[in-house]
Amino acid sequence: MAWWALGALLLLSAAISWFLTPLVLRLARRYRTFDTFDPRKIHTRRVPRLGGVAIFCAVSIGLLIALLASYGGWLHMQAFESTLVPAIYVGLCGFFFIGFFDDLRSLPALPRLIAQLVVATATVLLSGAGGVRITAAFGHALHIAPWQQVALTVLWIVGVANTFNWIDGLDGLAGGVACISALAFLTLALLHPALPYSALTGALSIVLVGSLLGFLPYNFFPARIFLGDGGAFSLGYLLAVISVVGLFKQAAVISMVLPITVLALPIGDTAFAIIRRLVKGKSPFTPDARHIHHRILSLVSRTYRERLPAEQLTRIEEKFIQRRAHRDTVLWLYTVCLLLAGLAIWLGR
């Protein structure tokens, strides 16, 4: 992988996302596609929720240019890597439009999940036996049948896609965590350029990082536009695919540990949410305000309030505390994600 080619992809994807986001913002306001108010949500004002459109367009153009660059010889992507791009893009379109329609019409959880399973299965099958597929477990110590490979990969893709939708509860949180995770996958690909699919992993990661860098200035607190389900599903899908083609195909046992370590924050939050709801006798899809970001936000807000006597806590100070706690919670979770990414990179060496 040429450094200048990766740098060009990064700048181009960031520029496209940065340019498109204000246009999407205006369209969303014009057609009044605002996020709904809910007791479990943090925001108290109307914010458009179609930011994923800008990211999807930036990633689409970036992938097209990466594909053209590989055929032109500027990006050293092997032929079998280039043929995977269309199959991966089909899945990206499927997950984005499922989320996009959910943003517009609020789809029920079960039909949405079934649609995701269908799209993920189509992606795995279209990519072929050596494509987007987990072919073995624990460093090839455990060989699994072809149908098990498909099922395991589909569950991984759908699971990771939904973790980013569930963690998208604070301004800039899901986008920032996805950006850090993609940077970790990019670093691991650069550390092992001789491994299969390293060029494809690098191209996918750098395009995703660039698209997020152009979007996050509009999404960080106080957000002017939200990712929406279309954006969150797209981020989770791409990171799941990157981890499959870039890490799960390695022969070392550590190949299973690395992607789980990088994505430990959203995966852990989702796992605890499902267990918590099942223990209470509720459906795993029942939304609540007990995610990790809700808990930390509540803890940080309470800590800041305790520094002021109750009789001195004015309405303006309460609003300032909420804003500061929101920002600091996101930054704290960024730090956790950075530490996990650093650990994965250290192990991946």
Residue 80 backbone class (left: φ over 0; alpha: ψ -120 to 50; beta: rest): alpha
Per-residue pLDDT tens listing for the chain (349 residues): 567 778 889 999 999 999 999 999 999 888 888 877 665 566 667 888 899 999 999 999 999 988 888 777 777 777 567 788 999 999 999 999 999 999 998 888 899 999 999 999 999 999 888 788 887 665 555 677 888 889 999 999 999 999 999 999 899 999 999 999 999 999 998 888 877 788 889 899 999 999 999 999 999 988 899 999 999 999 999 999 999 988 776 655 567 788 999 999 999 999 998 898 888 888 887 777 788 988 898 888 878 777 766 655 666 566 777 788 889 999 999 999 999 999 999 988 7
Nearest to 245 by CA among 199, 291, 283: 199
Q: Quick one: residue 138, left, alpha or beta (phi over 0 = left, psi -120 to 50 = alpha)?
A: left
- For 50, phi and psi rounded to 5 degrees? -110, 30
CA atoms of 184 and 61, how far apart (whole Å): 22
Beta bridge partners of 292: none
How many contiguous H segments (helices) and E segments (strands) does the chain have? 13, 2
Tokens in use for 69? Answer: 């660059």
pLDDT on residue 279? 86
Q: What are phi and psi of 137, to 5 degrees?
A: -130, 150
pTM (two decimals)? 0.93
Q: Is 32 left (phi over 0), alpha (psi -120 to 50) or beta?
A: left
Gap between the Cα atoms of 58 and 234, Å rounded: 12
Q: Identity (one letter) of the amino acid at 300?
A: V
Rounded distance between C-alpha atoms, residue 180 and residue 337, angstroms:
7
pLDDT confidence of residue 7: 86
- Establish how many alpha carbons lie within 13 A of residue 5's alpha carbon, considering only the half-sphere containing its beta carbon: 20
Q: How many CB atoms lie within 10 A of CB 224?
A: 16
Cα–Cα distance for residue pair 135/290, rounded to 1 Å = 36
Distance of CA 328 to the CA centre of its chain: 21
Q: How many Cβ atoms are within 10 Å of 15's Cβ, its own excluded? A: 14
